[in-house]
Amino acid sequence: MHETDGRRSASRHHRVFLPVLAALIALAWVALWAWARSPYGRYLEHEDWTASGPAALLCRVVPAGDVVVPMVLYAAAWILMTAAMMLPTTLPLFNTFDRLTAQRPDHGRLLMLLGLGYMTVWGAFGLLAHALHSAVLSLLASVPTLAWHGWLIGAATIALAGAFQFSRLKYRCLEKCRTPLSFVVEHWRGHGQARHAFALGVQHGLFCVGCCWALMLLMFALGTGSLGWMLLLAAVMAIEKNVRWGRRLSTPLGVALLSWAVVLVATTHA
């Protein structure tokens, strides 16, 4: 009986779960591609939110619209970008949790809560990154001397991402992300299922942010609307987390980023 249930679970896993998750990831990428090529593609860059178009109209109509509308639009863009870039890196986690909870009647709801917890953490990180980005832009606008040397911020961001590749925090968090079965066994209690499924997603999201935050900040230096850079960074993070030799990618990537920052500084001063 258990063997039959196991075969049914495996069949459902390959027939339903994997195609659905793949479709969600593909849909996120297609939506980003369509958005970037639409008349509203500038919103992906988080610039000119209130200058013109529908966003400007909403800013005038909605109370405190100059703050609320950009934040909502930014959150939507960031969550879409995170879904496209980060969900592929978490496939082993969802794969493990799907198999573990396959026999539960609320299986689908638990999977959604796991994903919601994970995306909540990345959404919070995105809002913090947006606030920091806005503060930097305001500082540049108010201090002309800094504006002339604004390129230093991009170089510093790239250098920070490179240096972080050598940190102990990076490797500690990366190990948690690379061992999803151990992570789920350690944190999943199976009682109070809905609450614990969401908490499991939050906990894994925290470790995921812990190992990838510096690489994600590169999007602010490279352009948050650049699909090419998104694809490249998503591939790098997926390899680091999911491929057997992925951990060995961290050091050469750090060297490459630090070298890039040095070249930027040298060529700009030349």
Backbone angles phi, psi at 95, to 5 degrees: -60, -45
Per-residue pLDDT for 217 more than 80? Answer: yes
Convert the pLDDT of each residue in 105-152 to its tens digit: 888 888 889 989 999 999 888 888 878 877 877 777 777 766 666 677
List all residues 6 or more positions away from 170 whose beta carbon is below 8 Å from its beta carbon.
164, 210, 211, 214, 250
pLDDT of residue 127: 81
- Pairwise CA distance, residues 198 & 205, whole Å: 10
pLDDT of residue 29: 83
pLDDT band of 2, cuts 50, 70, 90: very low
pLDDT of residue 1: 44
- Chain-wide mean pLDDT for the chain? 79
pLDDT band of 83, cuts 50, 70, 90: confident
- Pairwise CA distance, residues 147 & 136, whole Å: 10
Per-residue pLDDT for 3 more than 60? Answer: no
Convert the pLDDT of each residue in 181-213 to its tens digit: 888 888 887 667 888 899 999 999 999 999 999
Per-residue pLDDT for 54 more than 70? Answer: no
Convert the pLDDT of each residue in 229-250 to its tens digit: 888 888 888 888 888 888 888 8
Token pair of 211, please? 């190992």
pLDDT of residue 80: 82
Say how many C-beta atoms besides its own lie within 10 A of residue 178's C-beta: 19
Per-residue pLDDT for 227 more than 90? Answer: no
Amino acid identity for residue 201 in this structure: G
pLDDT of residue 266: 85
Per-residue pLDDT for 72 more than 90? Answer: no
Number of H helices, E strands in the chain: 13, 0
Per-residue pLDDT for 98 more than 60? Answer: yes
pLDDT band of 254, cuts 50, 70, 90: very high
